[in-house]
Amino acid sequence: MSNLDAIVHGLNPAQRAAALHQDGPLLVIAGAGAGKTRTATHRLACLLARGVPPEAIMCITFTNKAAREMRDRAIALVGADARRVMIRTFHSAAMVLLRQYIGEFPESGRTPAFSIADPTAQLALLKEAIAERNFDLKANRPESFLWRIGRYKNELADPESLLARQPTHDLMDWPRVLQMIRSTDRYVNRLTAEIWKRYEEKLRRNNMVDFDDLINLFTQMLREKPDIRTEVQRRFAYLQVDEFQDTNVAQLHMVKLLAGERQNVMAVGDDAQSIYSWRSADIRCILEFERHFPGAQTILLEQNYRSTGAIIRAANRLIAHNAGQRPKRLFTAAAEGCPIVLHEAETEVGEAQWVVQRIREGVAAGRHWGDFAILYRTGVQGRPFEEELREASVPYQVVGGPRFYDRREVQESLAYLRLLHNPRDSVSFERVLNAPRRGIGERGLQLLLALAAQREVDLIAALDLAAADGLLQDQAAEGARELYRHLRRAQEALAGQPGRFAAAMERLLHETGYMAYLREEDRRREERRSEVVESLVAAMHEFERRSPAAGLGAYLDHLALLEGQEEEEGGDVVKLQTIHSAKGLEYPVVFVVGMEQGLLPNQLALEEGNLEEERRLCYVAITRAREELYLTSARVRWQRGEMVITTPSQFLAEALGGGPARPVWMPASAD
């Protein structure tokens, strides 16, 4: 057996064809669980076995973890030569090559010793740029500008194109940039362009780049410096790109400039798992691969090695409803397996209780806690599951994000509640003082604490006294007076109805401007912090419903007991995570929860008629399951302070509507 034969031994025919491919562009469409990483690694090994110098190969991944995994697998296949292959993320590869060549690109205004601005440094420079124009930082939040500038940079735009409302070079995705410009107020666009130019000048003056600049500057250098471009293209004869469905316009053009005329590009990905448009990923990069790399060959990896026949059939049915995709149909040699189980609970609490009970029954039957994963559309949905898992003493871990009660917005909201209950609580007082900002700095805080001690009054009363006695400056004094009024009003409401703290809390968070403050931040986030707080208020209402005579003190005691339980780290624990964070992972048993219109698919997608990415997200969730799949929903759910009747997700009918894969229904009476 030759060395090549040994490397490809055990691969299926499609995997083998991809691994043995050498010259010219190749697109590998790898379905979920079809051995994408294995195929890409074996192709790298085949290149090395054929005598391609390791230094002539560049492999690009999206995460450092994926890069390490590919390198380790390649070393296991062909030995130490694999260590000399450049296996890096997009940004890491761009950074390394920028440092090597930027001395020959003086137009950049940077030297090879440039530093990369972290988020703190970026915000500091943006604040300086805004202050120079005498703009109010409260009305013109640096975070908003940073988010907007990053979006434009990922389309290879620049301030000049924004001001001129026309492309400045042929790499820009001008239709998308124009769409963004048209969807934004003309004044905001002008302001963004002006602040952006000042920000870039400050980066240059400090010999700094930000994270997005790594790719932008690199592509600019290759575009404008033919000698450097030729040298880099000659240096890297072969290029492999993983997770190609997640690339944005800037990354696509980086690949095109690196590939040059030889076009020795192997791109691996799955358009059905393109779920990061909110991070500027553009599915057109993979759908239109042949347009960018003419003459490209396409190989489909359709055999799934992960899931049962029932799960694969549901995934195929679901994704078949998407029009914008490359046709493929997963198949598996595995058995049909367990029927997919659907469960509709009465409430979100009932949904969580049912899921936890199924997990406990599974462990009693011989499974491990780590066999189970609970997946949801947004992190806020994890709250009732965390509570029920803690109540049942089930070890769990929130993957890819903080626990619900560890979130900053939850801690700040609860600080308001704790201060109402105990007006001498200085820790909670400090938390709420500038949430949102009220102009009361550290000096003001210490003055308020000292005043409360001297006058022997609580901290809420100290706010009024300090403002009345002129002890605080104008803005701080007004902030203190407002906070005092809101807190006193809430105290009076609680005194009148001691068991109705949820409504008082909800009103307080709105009146203080805290919810408005969160919604302003939400405009830049995939996950909305305001919805996290709404979920917290829903939990308060639920506690009142279940324990109508308990009151605020009992609720805070209940929280203290929940928060006192330590989360398990790694090991044999139930995993809670968003579907986005679960991509690339797999579990024996998966619960996809919140299968309702407005959650999955989410409300914005429904309003905009943009369901295809939501359907791909559901596809990713379904294909995380190896052996058992549960799809759950609730008939009623707390939304914005009230119980609303829900509608089952349309994806349920699409994935499981008729035929041999009839699901097993487990009604709400099974709660």
298-351 pLDDT, tens digit per residue, is 999 999 999 999 999 999 999 999 998 888 899 999 999 999 999 999 999 999
Q: What is the pLDDT of residue 85?
A: 92
Q: Which of 16, 36, 73, 198 is catalytic?
A: 36
Residue type, 280: S
Q: ω into residue 395 within 30 of 0, thus cis?
A: no
β-strand 625-634 against 587-592: which pairing, if any? parallel
Per-residue model confidence as pLDDT tens digits over 604-635: 889 888 899 999 999 999 999 999 999 999 99
What DSSP state is assigned to residue 669?
G
Q: What is the pLDDT of residue 30?
A: 94
pLDDT above 70: residue 665: no
37 a catalytic residue: yes
Q: Which of 158, 200, 210, 242 is catalytic?
A: 242
Edge-first strand order for the sheet with 57-61 is 86-89, 57-61, 238-241, 265-269, 26-30, 297-301
Q: Per the structure block, which two tokens stand in for 403?
A: 């626990």
Q: Which of 37, 168, 357, 473 is catalytic?
A: 37
Q: Are 245 and 285 in contact (CB under 8 A)?
A: yes
411 a catalytic residue: no
What DSSP state is assigned to residue 118?
P
Q: How many CA atoms lie within 13 A of 290 on its CB side?
A: 9
Q: Which of 151, 153, 358, 624 is catalytic?
A: 624
575 a catalytic residue: no
DSSP codes joined into one string, 379-440: GGGGHHHHHHHHHTT--EEE-SS--GGGSHHHHHHHHHHHHHH-TT-HHHHHHHHTSS--S-
pLDDT above 50: residue 489: yes
440: left (phi over 0), alpha (psi -120 to 50) or beta: beta
Q: Which of 213, 243, 387, 628 is catalytic?
A: 243
273 a catalytic residue: yes
* Percent residues over pLDDT 70 in the chain: 91
- Which residues on neighbouring strands pair with residue 629, listed in sequence order? 590
- Which residues on neighbouring strands pair with residue 651, listed in sequence order? none
* φ and ψ at residue 473, rounded to 5 degrees: -65, 170
Name which residue leads in pLDDT, 453 or 165. 453
C-alpha–C-alpha distance, residues 526 and 546, integer Å: 32
Question: From residue 335, how far is each of 311, 376, 610, 627, 664 by CA, in Å?
Answer: 10, 27, 35, 10, 17
What DSSP state is assigned to residue 596?
B
pLDDT above 80: residue 220: yes
**Radius of gyration of the chain, Cα coordinates, nearest whole angstrom:** 28
247 a catalytic residue: no
Q: Which of 192, 240, 247, 273 is catalytic?
A: 273
Per-residue model confidence as pLDDT tens digits over 399-432: 877 777 778 888 888 888 888 888 888 888 888 8
Q: What is the pLDDT of residue 439?
A: 78
C-alpha–C-alpha distance, residues 626 and 621, integer Å: 11
Give the residue-averaged pLDDT of 554-576. 70
138 a catalytic residue: no
C-alpha–C-alpha distance, residues 84 and 6, integer Å: 22
- Which residues on neighbouring strands pair with residue 344, listed in sequence order? 633
Please say whether the dihedral angle defined by the alpha carbons of residues 383, 385, 389 and 392, taken in this order, is positive or negative. Answer: positive
**Contacts with 264 (C-beta within 8 Å, 6 or more apart), sequence order:** 22, 23, 24, 25, 237, 238, 239
C-alpha–C-alpha distance, residues 300 and 306, integer Å: 17
